[in-house]
Amino acid sequence: MSRIVRTLFIIATLLLCVQSTHAETLLRSADVHPRDYPTVQSVMFMSERLQIYTNGELAIKVYPSRQLGEEQDTLLATMFGAIDINRVSVAALGNIAQELRVLALPYLFTDVEHQYRVLRGPIGDDILAFLEPHGLIGLAFLDSGARSFYTREKPIRSLADLQGLKIRVQNTDLSIQMMDMLGANATPMSFGQVYESLITGVIDGAENNWPSYVSTRHFEAAPYYTLDRHTMIPEIIVMSKRRWLQLTPEQQVAVKQAAREASLHMETLWNARVSSAREKALAAGVTVIELDNKTNGAFAAAVSPLYREYKEDPVIANILQRIHAQRQIP
């Protein structure tokens, strides 16, 4: 089924459901991850808070495991108003609101504290606001750790090892450009296709964080995990602006508050999941490779031209400058 047909199908199905249920109290939320994954658990937590704050007027039903489709498809449906809430990777949103690509730039954050200072403060709020002209309300960011490479046949210990490897990337221009600069052969595809592509050898590797690497069982097919941590692209909870405008001002406040609390709760869920995912992978015999400073430096240097290019956009240049100013605790 083509992407457009699939999206129209989702929209039609959901619009039918809207008529037959008490949709004003039940917000539908999409996620590609399974029920026990921290992002799904975090939106479920948001639902609990929301029910409390609205005296049961609003609740969220999460559809996990790509039940409503891949991220790009469900995002379109969210913009149309057929899906109310969506938890996606910020990378997927960079295709819709260009300004958000800034958060997908490699080696942007020095550590997770730097990322929290940016995302939980005024810079984060300004970035969320870029979504509104595109029919989406940015509610909150969620942890997603760092993305690193994993490969099927041989470990990546240096840039030389990466040359010419077919690496699955998220479907964005930025990730394709980044792989080109690193010398890999970028192969964009949706998240749901990666496992089979690894098993069949259509790709040599992919890149993701610990929890995704393990929950998708990619580690079974690609047992070499190189912790180069090239990006720290956060997750995000967005809401359809069409549905948002149907809420009362009090309900809007409650939705934002519940999302903010879900975002803080996610930190605990995330850290626990990173540890358990790592243990599971190690127990299964995954080889973990840490790069030395020199090799890390070579990776970062290879992708640094991206910054020159992105800084040509004055809006992105300004956000970048503000993000860099948060490297040290102000």
Closest approach, Cβ 206 to ligand BDP, in A, equals: 8
Which residue number, 27 or 194, has a Cβ lying nearer to ligand BDP?
194
74, 175, 208, 326: residue in contact with ligand BDP (rule CB under 6 A): 208
Q: Does 219 bind ligand BDP (CB under 6 A)?
A: no
Q: Does 88 bind ligand BDP (CB under 6 A)?
A: yes
Per-residue DSSP letters for 144-164? ---EEEEESSS---SHHHHTT
Closest approach, Cβ 89 to ligand BDP, in A, equals: 4
Q: What's 326's DSSP letter?
A: T
Which one of the spans 9-17, 175-183, 207-215, 278-286 is the region binding ligand BDP (CB under 6 A)? 207-215
29, 54, 86, 209: residue in contact with ligand BDP (rule CB under 6 A): 209
Q: Does 74 bind ligand BDP (CB under 6 A)?
A: no
Give residues 152-171 in contact with ligand BDP (rule: CB under 6 A): 170
Q: Are 78 and 96 in contact (CB under 8 A)?
A: no
Strand order across the beta sheet in which 185-188 lies: 185-188, 166-169, 205-208, 147-151, 224-231, 287-290
Cα 118 from Cα 115, distance rounded (Å) = 5
Phi-psi region of 157 (alpha: psi -120 to 50; beta: other; left: phi over 0): alpha
Closest approach, Cβ 271 to ligand BDP, in A, equals: 16
Closest approach, Cβ 174 to ligand BDP, in A, equals: 13
Residue with tokens 């970062």: 300
Q: Does 40 bind ligand BDP (CB under 6 A)?
A: no
Which residue number, 68 or 254, has a Cβ lying nearer to ligand BDP?
68
14, 30, 32, 182: residue in contact with ligand BDP (rule CB under 6 A): 32
Cα 121 from Cα 181, distance rounded (Å) = 32
Q: Are 33 and 215 in contact (CB under 8 A)?
A: yes
Q: Are 167 and 206 in contact (CB under 8 A)?
A: yes
Closest approach, Cβ 161 to ligand BDP, in A, equals: 21
Cα 94 from Cα 54, distance rounded (Å) = 32
Q: Does 41 bind ligand BDP (CB under 6 A)?
A: no
Q: In whole angstroms, what separates CA 96 from the centre of its chain?
A: 14
143, 235, 237, 319: residue in contact with ligand BDP (rule CB under 6 A): 235
Binding site for ligand BDP (CB under 6 A): 32, 71, 88-89, 144, 170, 191, 208-209, 212, 235
